[in-house]
Structure 1
Amino acid sequence: MKFYHFELAGRTLMDIEGLGTQIHDCARVRKLIDKHGEKFLYEVFTEREITFCSQRSHSTEYYAALWATKEAVFRSLGTKWKRGISWHDVEVLCTKAVGPKVVLAGPTKERAIKKRVAKIRVSFAYSRMFATATAIALK
């Protein structure tokens, strides 16, 4: 999928390399956490992500949102989680000042470099039932 840049007030904006979106059922995520505990958490999330989510009053919803964000990032790069790709290849860091920021590592970072992706913008939202995320890979 290839999108082309456009101009806004005579200023060229970045090309969009890819777009990814994902939705997760928060109840399903809660069941996975209850059933597998820390094994599941440490398989999918980094230490910083676990610390961030566990400090929130709606931790399940945050886990679901960050997981959806990771999948949306994979999709924006034209790939998906599979053998050889780690959930830890995509780390979602959240700050009040900047909002969610993505840090890539491993084969996922290599793929982004190969595709000449300069930046990945992400956004997520959640309710009691669902968490959704969108990622846009920009050149």
Structure 2
Amino acid sequence: MVKGIGIDLIEVGRIKKIAEKNPKFLERIFTSREVSYCQGKKNKYQHLAARFAAKEAFFKAIGRRINWKDVELFNLPSGKPQLEIKSKERFSFDEAHVSISHLKEYAVAMVVLEGKK
């Protein structure tokens, strides 16, 4: 049963501009694993924007915001994106499915929350 759906679209340039203007932005929003992964990529701001969009999409799916770092996006060995929820809060879903995509100018993410009841 679907418990929540969220989608977010963001301009990559917006993330780049904020990150360059305020270096603490990355520390506040992303986990060290997320930053490390993105720093190793040719188009790091596209990857950062996709992670930002995934977190926003998750917040929309649960209907509220939690700590940014309590939601982490990483890739399985297959390359499939996966959300890890580190919050101690209890949620009414069993699984969080995520899909991300990014181009030069935009990143998008969709989250579907699934549960038994």
Normalization by structure 2: what TM-score? 0.93
Structure with the greater relative contact order (CA < 8 A, sep ≥ 6): 1 or 2?
2
Tell me, yes or no, if the aligned pair for 1:122 and 1:134 is still in contact at 8 Å.
yes
Moved over 2 A (4+): none
Q: Percent identity?
A: 30
When Rg is computed on C-alpha atoms for both structures, the one with the higher figure is 1
Residue aligning to 2:28:
43
* Structure 2 residues not aligned, in runs of 5+: none
Residue aligning to 1:122:
98
Residue 5 of structure 2, aligned match among 19, 30, 35: 19
Tell me, yes or no, if the aligned pair for 1:18 and 1:76 is still in contact at 8 Å.
yes
Residue aligning to 2:37:
52
* 1:98-131 residue CA offsets vs partner (Å, 9 max, x unmatched): 511111122xx5242xx1x110000000111110
Tell me, yes or no, if the aligned pair for 1:77 and 1:111 is still in contact at 8 Å.
no
Number of aligned residue pairs: 115
Letter in 1 for 2:30: F
Q: For residues 55 and 98 of structure 1, do their structure 2 counterparts lie closer, same or farther at Cα, with a shift above 3 Å needed? A: closer
* Structure 1 residues not aligned, in runs of 5+: 1-14
Quote the RMSD (CA, aligned, Å). Answer: 1.2
